Structure 1
Amino acid sequence: MLKRNDEKINGYLFVIVLPILLFAMSYYGFESSYTRLKTSETTPDFLFSSVYAYRVIPNYLSVQMTDLMYNLINGPLSFFKDFLTKNGTPFYHGLFLMNSVFFIGCSLILDAVFKLKSTGLLLNINARRIIHLLSVFFIVITQYAPTNCDTIALFCYLAGVFLTLKYLDTRKNVFFFILIGLIAISTLVRETACLNIAFFAAVFFNIDELKKGNYQVIWKIIPLVVAFLVPYLGLRAVLVKDETTFVEGFYINRNFSSPFNLAGLIFAIIVIYFIYRLCTDEENRSVFGKYFFFSIPYLIMITLVGLFWEVRLFLPLILTGIITAYHQFKKTSEI
C-alpha cells in the first residue's frame, strides 16, 4: 500500500510538478529577443494577419485567456497585482497559463506513450522517468520563442501519436476514427497536424505488401489526408483578407547565412542523429527512417518559410524519435 502511494507521489512529481516548474523558469526566468511579448498588453494584432490568422483555435484562446488574466489581476488577484505587472502583461500571463495546461497534457501523454509496449531501457521505471524528463527538457528549452500555437499543436500531435500506437496494438477502429477527427481539429491549430499522417504512414507502410498488391494502407491514409486538407484549404477559402497570406515570408537565405539559424540546424541534426543511434532494433530504425521520408514536405516548408533558430519547429521530430526508439513495434504486414 505504502509502495503504491509512493509510486503515485513520485509519478505526480516527475510528470506534473517538475515539468511545470521548468516551464515557469523558461517563461519568467530567462530573457531573449522573443520576450518582447511581455510588453504586449493585449493580444497582438499580427496574430490575426499573415499565416497566423489561420490558427483560429490558439487565437481564440489567447483572447479569452488575456481577458481572464486582466479580470483576475484587477479582481481576485489584486493583492498580487504589483508582482504580476512587474513580470508581464495580461496577455503574457495568459499565454503562460494556456501553454502550461497543454504542456502538462504533453507530459501526461508522453508518460502514457512510454508505458505502451515499452522496450529496452523503458522497462525500468527509473530509466523511463529519465527518458521522460529528457523529453520534457527538449520541450522547455524551445520556449525561448513562445507562441500561442506550438504547445497546443504539440499536444495534439502527441495525442495523435498515442492514438496511432493504440490502433497498432489493439486494431480497434475507434482509435482510428478519433485520429481522423483529431487531425481535422488540430489543423485549425497549426499545420503540423500533417505530421500525424507521416507517423501513421511510417508505422503501417510496408513496401513488400504493396508489391503483393495489398493497398489497404493507402486506403487507411486517404481519410487522414482528407481530414487535413478540408480544414486547411477551407480556412484559406473563408478567411480571404488583404493581410492574410499563406506564409509569413521566405527565409531560406537567412537560414543558410545567419550563424544563429545555422546553429539551430546543427543542433537539430546532432540531436536527431543521436536519437537515431538509440534505435537499436531494425524495426525501430525502419519506422524512424520512414517517418523522416514522409515528413519531407514539412522539412521543406520549415526550410523555406521557417527559421532554424526556432528549434521548436524540429520538436515533433525529436520527440517522435525518442518514442520510436523505445517502442516495441508489431509486424505491420496487415492492417
Structure 2
Amino acid sequence: MLRTFDEKLNGFLFVVILPFLLFFMSYYGFESSYVKLKSMESPPDFMFTSVYAYRVIPNFLMVEVTGFLDFIINSYLSPLKVVLLKNGTVFYHSVFLINSVFLVFSSIVLDSILKLSPIEVLGNSNIKKIVHLLAVFFIVIVQYVPTNCDLMAIFFYLLGVLFSLQYFHRKKRSDFIFLCITVLVSTLIRETACLNIAFFAAIFIENKAGVFKYIKEIGILVLSFVLPYLGLKIMIPQDVSFFEGVYLAENFTSPFNLAGFLFASIGFYFIYSLCSVEGKSILKKYLFFSIPYLGMITLVGLFWEVRLFLPLLLSGLIVAFHQFENIHTT
C-alpha cells in the first residue's frame, strides 16, 4: 500500500509539479524582453487583428481570465497585490496561469503517450522519466517568447497524437472521432492543428497503396481543419495583405533567426538519430507532409521563435520511443 502511494506521489511530483516549476522559472526567472507582455496592462490590440484574430479560443480565455484574476486580486488578495504586480501585470499573470494549466495538461497527455506501446527501453521507468523530462524541457525552454496560444495548441496537438496512436493500434472508431474533434477545436486555437493530419498520414501511409487505403480518414481530417478555418475567415474578415510580415530574407540573414533554425534542426536531427528504421521512415514522411506548415513559418514566422518547431521536436521524441510493431500489418 505504501509503495503504491509512493509511486503515485512520485508520479504526481514528476508529471505535474516539476513541469509547473520549470514553467514558473521561464516566466518569472529568465523571461525574455523579446515580447513585452510583462508590462502590458491589458491584452494588446494586435491579438485581435490579422491572423491573431482567428485564434478565438485563446483570445476569449485571455480576456476572461484577465478579468477574473483582476477581480480575485482586488477582492481577496489585496495584501499581495504589490508583490504580484511587481512581478508582472495582471494580464501577464493571466497568460502565465492559462499556459501553466495547459502545460500540466500537456505533461499528463505526454505521460499517457509514452505509456502507450513504448519500445523496450522505456520499460525502465527511469529512462521514461528522462524522456518525459526532455520533452518538458523542450516545451519550457521555448517560452522565452510567451504567447497566449502556444501551450494550448501543444496540448491539443499532443492529444491528437494520442488519439492517432490509439487508432493505429486499436482501430476503434471512437478514437478517430475524438481525433477529428480535437483537430476541429485545435483549428480555433492555432494553425498547428494541421500537423495532426501530417502525423496521422505519416504513421498510416506506408507506401503509395496506403494513400488510397486511408484516403477517407485523411480526407475527413483535412475537412476537420479546413472547414472551421474557412469559417473563421468568413466570420472574422481581416483586411490584411498576405505579404505583410513576410520574413523569408530575415530568416536566413539574421543571426538570431539562424540560431533558432540551427537549434531546431540539430534538435530534430538528434532525435531522428535515436529512431529505429521504422521510426526514421515515419519522421521522413512526417516532414514531407509538414511541408505546408514549414513553408508558412519560413515565410511569415521567425525562426528565432523556436516554439514554431516545437510540435516537430515533440513528434520526433514520441516516434523515437514508440513501438510501431504492427506498422506492416495495418
Q: TM (normalized to structure 1)?
A: 0.95
| Equivalent residue, structure 1, for 2:105 | 105
Match of 2:75, SS state, is coil
Q: CA deviation at 1:68?
A: 1.0
Spell out, residue by residue over 1:186-242, the C-alpha distance to the aligned partner (whole angstroms, 9 max, x if none). Answer: 1000001000000000010021535xxx82211110000001000111111121143
Match of 1:215, SS state, is helix
For the 8 Å contact 1:43–1:63, the answer to whether it is kept is: yes
| Equivalent residue, structure 2, for 1:237 | 234
| Equivalent residue, structure 2, for 1:176 | 176
Spell out, residue by residue over 1:124-170, the C-alpha distance to the aligned partner (whole angstroms, 9 max, x if none). Answer: 10110011011000100000000001110000000000000111111
Residues of 1 paired with 2:208 and 2:43: CA distance? 51
| Equivalent residue, structure 1, for 2:291 | 296
**Following superposition of structure 1 onto structure 2, how do residues 88-237 of structure 1 map, counting pairs within 5 Å?**
88-207=88-207, 209-210=209-210, 215-237=212-234
For the 8 Å contact 1:183–1:227, the answer to whether it is kept is: yes
Match of 2:273, SS state, is helix
Question: Pick from 245, 248, 261: which aligns with 1:265?
Answer: 261
Match of 1:331, SS state, is coil
CA-based RMSD? 1.4
Decide which moves more: 324-333 or 121-130.
324-333
Structure 1 counterpart of 2:312, which letter?
L
User: Aligned pair in 2 of structure 1 residues 208, 233: CA closer, same or farther (>3 Å)?
Assistant: closer
* Aligned sequence identity (%): 56
For the 8 Å contact 2:260–2:303, the answer to whether it is kept is: yes
For the 8 Å contact 1:106–1:154, the answer to whether it is kept is: yes
| Equivalent residue, structure 2, for 1:284 | 279
Residues of 2 paired with 1:67 and 1:248: CA distance? 32
Q: TM (normalized to structure 2)?
A: 0.97
The answer to whether 1:11 aligns with 2:7 is no
Give the number of aligned pairs: 330
| Equivalent residue, structure 2, for 1:60 | 60
Structure 1 counterpart of 2:317, which letter?
I
The answer to whether 1:328 aligns with 2:323 is yes
For the 8 Å contact 1:169–1:330, the answer to whether it is kept is: no
For the 8 Å contact 2:156–2:182, the answer to whether it is kept is: yes
| Equivalent residue, structure 2, for 1:80 | 80
For the 8 Å contact 1:19–1:107, the answer to whether it is kept is: yes
Structure 1 counterpart of 2:320, which letter?
A
Match of 1:34, SS state, is coil
Residues of 2 paired with 1:102 and 1:248: CA distance? 31
Structure 1 counterpart of 2:99, which letter?
N
Spell out, residue by residue over 1:229-259, the C-alpha distance to the aligned partner (whole angstroms, 9 max, x if none). Answer: 00111111121143x5657610011100100
Please identify runs of 4+ aligned residues in structure 1 that moved more than 2 A: 244-248, 330-335
For the 8 Å contact 1:49–1:245, the answer to whether it is kept is: no
Q: CA deviation at 1:35?
A: 4.5
Structure 2 counterpart of 1:123, which letter?
G
User: Aligned pair in 2 of structure 1 residues 13, 248: CA closer, same or farther (>3 Å)?
Assistant: farther
Residues of 1 paired with 2:65 and 2:27: CA distance? 16
Spell out, residue by residue over 1:263-307, the C-alpha distance to the aligned partner (whole angstroms, 9 max, x if none). Answer: 00011111000000000x211111111111111111111100100
Residues of 1 paired with 2:243 and 2:191: CA distance? 11
User: Aligned pair in 2 of structure 1 residues 184, 196: CA closer, same or farther (>3 Å)?
Assistant: same
- Structure 2 residues without counterparts, runs of 5 or longer: none
